[in-house]
Amino acid sequence: MRIIFILSFMIPFFLTACSTANEENERSPVGEAAVERVIDRLVEQHGEIEADRIRRGVSQTVALWREADGSSDDFEAFCLAHFISDREELDEVFDRLEHNFEHLYGYMNRITLELNRQLHEDRGPIHPIDQKFGAYSPSAHIQDDLYSNRIAFVVSLNFPHYTLEEKNALGVGWDDRQWGFARLGDVFTARIPPRLLQEYSQTSSETRLYISEYNIYAGQLRNEDGEALFPEGMKLLAHWNIRDEIRSNYGQPGGLEKKEMLYQVMLRIIGQDIPKQVIDNDDYQWNPFTNQLWKDGEPVEAEPEGTRRYAHLLNNFNALRNMDPYYPQLDTYIKRRFDSNMEIPQEEVEALFREYASSPLLRETAELIAERLGRELRPFDLWYDGFKARSGISEEALDQITKTRYPDADALNQDIPRILRQLGHDAEMARTIAGKIEVDPARGSGHAWRTSMRSKPSHLRTRIGPDGMDYKGYNIAIHELGHNVEQTISTYHVDNYFINGVPNTAFTEALAFMYQRRDLEFLGIHNDDPMQEYLEILDIFWDNYEMMGVSLVDMNVWKWLYDNPGASPSELKEAVIGIASDIWNEFFADVFGTRDNPLLSIYSHMIQSPLYLSNYPYGRLIMFQLEDHIRDRDFASEELRIFSIGRLTPRHWMDRAVGEQISNQPIFDAVELALEALLR
């Protein structure tokens, strides 16, 4: 949903591929004959029992070795001197590396967090100097330093890299320490020039700032009669708050007209004919239906934004594509994002999403929604909210509750232990987890910033207005709290630092969604409707339909970018609109009764968080399986057990967590039962 993981400082460490290139695309000076000689000598010295480790370690190290690192003789001498076969010594080195890298990563993370506070938190105006610090990557040269002092080579030689296929095949027999060895083997597998890391950091920072300030003042919107439908001062961040305002107007007086108006705003943003004057500016009145603009009651000529949105997307693509030559096996960002980062191939992800979006159960659910609405579906009914318990509670009433309870960030900080106790944690554990989370007022929609060391907290960011936290901000906050709880458990409760975390961000999204769906319970609002369980299943099912669509658009836009690397922002804009329309026509047109609609391209993640969107629908599928697993179990104890498993591959994590793999079938089965119950 609204989560932004800001981990660019870790890019040098966690990109898994074997590289044969440096700044000049230089190859290793060590020939095959020399490599075989080194392997033979090491096997002779340490025994045949070490042969596999030796071959893996030497092969990985030579792929990273450059002429500046030394000659072929220097490489041979280094390997003979630094290969470790003694298990006690190897364990000792692993423990030293674990301690040192935790503090190296941890303090780099802390520095990055502090340098970005003015950009990410609601701390008043941004000065150009803040943008410069936000774009600066303090860790950009660490990778080079660790190669220069040969620490990287000690690691690659003694803790070799395993492919995803090998981890999935061998990992079933590994204990947590062996998984730690394997994850340490993932650390030094590519040499990315610091210049490119710094360039991407700057590009990413500029894009995030653009998105974080893309606010629309809803109170300044006007309909055909010149009427304002929204309260004065209402500020909606695109796309998050605009989407959530659409959701909040189901079942409310005048809700249909408001949704139509916000839908037009979204189309203007996608088409980039939105007037620049209305972005983060409440000086103008704007009719998004006609695109007319007024200031102080007088017509004003609208200046369209043009292609700025797509220029930022293109800049991110180019910055990441510049790293491609340094990954001969994972030579596109698409491969790195899925095969390496997500550890699920892109083709597998897309096939799962297409199966879901093609389900006839979605058509049956759409018929039920249309019946409940008493009208044909409109495209914005992607965000139908009528299955949720809060649909009978006005947004204003919920705002009053949350603003009273949470007038500032500290109020939420103080309330986190109570929320955790409500989930079943004992008082001591609730205090312990809450004590490692800090709440900050966000400039953007909100995000969770994980800690990277056990002595520092994770950070929860959400929007908090001058009169307190409204329901939208609270809903975001509870989502982010789920991330922060996962981050705390998976940092403090794992066996070793190198397996801290979860397999990929879809897994942390799963817990965030689990928390978010309980947001009203945390406010003391309960629903006793016996049909509510079935309604919640349909809510998740319908919500994920939308997310599958936007994720398919995201993936296919990146495929197009790689097919058209010289594209201009204008060409990219047309391509995105065309791809979104094609996905709509294939999976949504028959449900909504309209064709060629680009609405699926509204998500801001596509602009600022390259190829992140797939984590959400995957996260919801995982969430559904986790919820099913804990149904008859204690939530708190299972939460601690499951998120202490550590960063295994998705396949092994799911086996340990719930005993089954990620699939559409569990939710399909549940939806069939829900539809049968509701349509009896």
| Residue 641 burial (CB count, 10 A) | 15
* Residue 631 CB burial class (10 angstroms; 0-12, 13-18, ≥19): exposed
Same structural domain for residues 425 and 468? yes
Residue 391 has pLDDT above 80, yes or no: no
Stretch 601-610: mean pLDDT, rounded?
A: 96
Same structural domain for residues 568 and 674? yes
Chosen domain end from 487, 503, 519: 503
Domain-embedded: residue 202 = no
SS (H, E, C) 404-457: HHCCCHHHHHHHHHHHHHHCCCCHHHHHHHHCCEEEEEECCCEEEECCCCCCCC
Same structural domain for residues 541 and 666? yes
Predicted local distance difference test score (pLDDT) of residue 330: 87
Domain-embedded: residue 269 = yes
User: Which pLDDT band, with edges at 50, 70 and 90, does 444 fall under?
Assistant: confident
Domain-embedded: residue 152 = yes
Condensed to tens digits (0 to 9), the pLDDT of residues 409-420 reads 999 999 999 999
Predicted local distance difference test score (pLDDT) of residue 496: 96
Same structural domain for residues 12 and 153? yes
Place of tokens 């019946």: 371
- Residue 204's alpha-carbon distances to 4, 76, 319, in angstroms, are 12, 40, 9
Place of tokens 């040969």: 150
Domain-embedded: residue 515 = no
Domain-embedded: residue 519 = no
What CA–CA distance (Å, rounded) separates 184 from 167? 13
Condensed to tens digits (0 to 9), the pLDDT of residues 23-34 reads 445 678 999 999
User: Which pLDDT band, with edges at 50, 70 and 90, does 189 fall under?
Assistant: confident
Q: Which among 598, 578, 575 has a CA at the least distance from the CA of 588? A: 598
Same structural domain for residues 563 and 672? yes
User: Which pLDDT band, with edges at 50, 70 and 90, does 389 fall under?
Assistant: low
Q: State percent of the chain over pLDDT 90.
A: 83
Predicted local distance difference test score (pLDDT) of residue 612: 93
Condensed to tens digits (0 to 9), the pLDDT of residues 226-285 reads 999 999 999 999 999 999 999 999 988 899 999 999 999 999 999 999 999 999 999 999
Chosen domain end from 306, 323, 353: 306
User: Which pLDDT band, with edges at 50, 70 and 90, does 492 fall under?
Assistant: very high
Same structural domain for residues 331 and 280? no
Predicted local distance difference test score (pLDDT) of residue 680: 67
| Residue 653 burial (CB count, 10 A) | 23
Same structural domain for residues 218 and 237? yes
Containing domain of residue 592, as a range? 310-387+527-678
Stretch 418-444: mean pLDDT, rounded?
A: 95
Q: How many CA atoms lie within 13 A of 352 on its CB side?
A: 23
Residue 20 has pLDDT above 50, yes or no: no
Predicted local distance difference test score (pLDDT) of residue 392: 63
User: Which pLDDT band, with edges at 50, 70 and 90, does 210 fall under?
Assistant: very high
| Listed range (9-13, 138-142, 483-487, 564-568) with the worst mean pLDDT | 9-13
Residue 116 has pLDDT above 60, yes or no: yes
Domains held by the chain: number: 4
Predicted local distance difference test score (pLDDT) of residue 8: 35
Domain-embedded: residue 156 = yes
Predicted local distance difference test score (pLDDT) of residue 7: 37
User: Which pLDDT band, with edges at 50, 70 and 90, does 171 fall under?
Assistant: very high
Domain-embedded: residue 249 = yes
Q: Identify the residue with better confidence: 627 or 22.
A: 627
Residue 430 has pLDDT above 50, yes or no: yes
Residue 5 has pLDDT above 50, yes or no: no
Same structural domain for residues 343 and 325? yes
Predicted local distance difference test score (pLDDT) of residue 120: 87
- What sign has the CA pseudo-torsion 533, 535, 536, 537? positive
Condensed to tens digits (0 to 9), the pLDDT of residues 343-373 reads 999 999 999 999 999 999 999 999 999 999 9
N residues, the chain: 680
What mean pLDDT is reported for the chain?
Answer: 92
Same structural domain for residues 352 and 300? no
Predicted local distance difference test score (pLDDT) of residue 21: 40
pTM of the prediction?
0.84
Predicted local distance difference test score (pLDDT) of residue 18: 37
Residue 290: partners with Cβ closer than 8 Å, 6 or more residues away = 224
Chosen domain end from 258, 284, 306: 306
Residue 456: partners with Cβ closer than 8 Å, 6 or more residues away = 106, 109, 110
What CA–CA distance (Å, rounded) separates 514 from 527? 17
Q: Identify the residue with better confidence: 16 or 247.
A: 247
Strands 437-441 and 458-462: parallel
Condensed to tens digits (0 to 9), the pLDDT of residues 36-62 reads 999 999 999 999 999 999 999 999 999
Same structural domain for residues 35 and 154? yes
Domain-embedded: residue 516 = no
Q: Identify the residue with better confidence: 532 or 675.
A: 675
Stretch 427-449: mean pLDDT, rounded?
A: 91
Predicted local distance difference test score (pLDDT) of residue 487: 96
Q: How many CA atoms lie within 13 A of 407 on its CB side?
A: 1
Same structural domain for residues 338 and 421? no
Same structural domain for residues 73 and 166? yes
Predicted local distance difference test score (pLDDT) of residue 327: 84
